[in-house]
Amino acid sequence: MKSHFDAPSSRRRARGAVTLGATATLAASLAALLAPIDDAAAHGAVGFPIARQYQCRLEGGYWDPPNGSGIPNNDCRAAYRAGNNSAYPFTQWNEVSANPVGQGNDLAQLKAAVPDGLLCAGGDTSKAGLDKAPTALWRKTQLTPRNGHIELLWENTTSHNPARMRVFISKPSYDPSRPLRWDDLQQIYEAPAPAPVPANGAGHLPGSIQSFYKLDVTLPPGRSGDAVLYSYWQRIDAGNEGFFNCSDVTIAADESASGFPWVATHAFVEPGVVPQAGQQVRFRVMGTDARGAEVVDVRQPITPYNTNRSVWAKQIADQVNGRYGNIARIGVRSGNTIYFDTTNLNANKVWLQPNYSSALGVVGAK
């Protein structure tokens, strides 16, 4: 477009417009740098067993006060403080990544990109709090294998195929008082990334999570107790981008020994589910086909009389356990039965048949 001006006043206006435009551009650039990452533009994290940074992202509390005292749990608070009071590992929960030359096939290059002591940070010193907070401090997800297998779940804001998946477990000799090193790990899984399964609103962050990678991982025979699972998702492209996540676990006895038909997945009520009167709480179970079609869909209307979590949670649990008890159960296990614990709501888990997934969220206008 031509921008020729003959009059001096036009030239002054043009200079003013350029100055204002440059100022606006600079302000926009600064805002983009300071803003939290857009979840939908990044990649993913391990949702089960939940990765360190993902757990901290979900629980929040890291924006204020600056000393981290608003962070509700000791492990995430320690990671924040050990990382120079930085929320960066949590806001970048789905991009704990590095770009190893050789795409992980050259061990020396992999260690150069993700050195010892920075494994949980994906080699990024600005996320080092994820490694500096002692492993012994991190809360553990209970893993209950079935015939020696578990299902590991990547929750993707953007899936990337082709890719290659690797999973490692810390050796029994690992000292949890120090950061993880490559020599502490034993590889237990490697395969091409499977086809992503649509999330259909499921995942820890419904709406942000677009798909899942479901990995059938075999644990070492006889392994039990505390461990770290180290998950590595390597894109096969020119950029060499790989994602690295630490999940802290406690391995329980194999379910196949008892013949118990249910698999414990995750807590029934996740952080952030706080419905208001006029909304609905929706609980869904997705099936095993490639579309992840819903096989359970329960909606509990919220009124001024059931906004308390203890009320609507039991209402949903009663419906699921009663009408859909052959597909899902909500509660705690006692022997070979599952019952809803009204005295300790946080103890209640979602129990599913193998290869099913579930989601709980709030729908409707406030």
Of 85, 86, 57, 89, residue with least CA distance to 73: 57
CB atoms within 10 A of CB 210: 18
Say whether 263-363 and 39-257 share the same fold.
no
Half-sphere exposure of 361 (CA within 13 A, CB side): 18
Q: What is the DSSP string of 254-321?
A: -GGGTT---EEEEESS-TT----TT-EEEEEEE-SSTT--EEEEEEEE--TTS-SHHHHHHHHHHHHH
* Every domain of the chain and the residues it spans: 39-257, 263-363
Q: Rounded distance, CA 255 to CA 144, Å?
A: 6
- pLDDT at residue 203 in the model: 85
- pLDDT at residue 279 in the model: 94
CB atoms within 10 A of CB 223: 16
Say which CATH topology domain 263-363 has.
Answer: Alpha-Beta Plaits (3.30.70)
- pLDDT at residue 8 in the model: 37
Q: Locate 358 and state its tokens.
A: 């579930």
Q: Rounded distance, CA 252 to CA 309, Å?
A: 29
- pLDDT at residue 293 in the model: 78
Scanning the structure block, which residue is given the tokens 């909304």? Answer: 279
CATH of 39-257, picked from 3.90.226.10, 2.30.30.40, 2.70.50.50, 3.10.50.40, is 2.70.50.50
Q: Rounded distance, CA 83 to CA 28, Å?
A: 27
What is the Cα Rg of the chain in Å? 23
Mean pLDDT of successive 10-residue stretches along the chain, which has 366 residues? 38 40 41 39 84 96 95 97 97 97 92 98 98 96 90 92 96 96 98 91 87 95 96 93 97 80 87 88 84 87 95 97 95 93 92 87 78
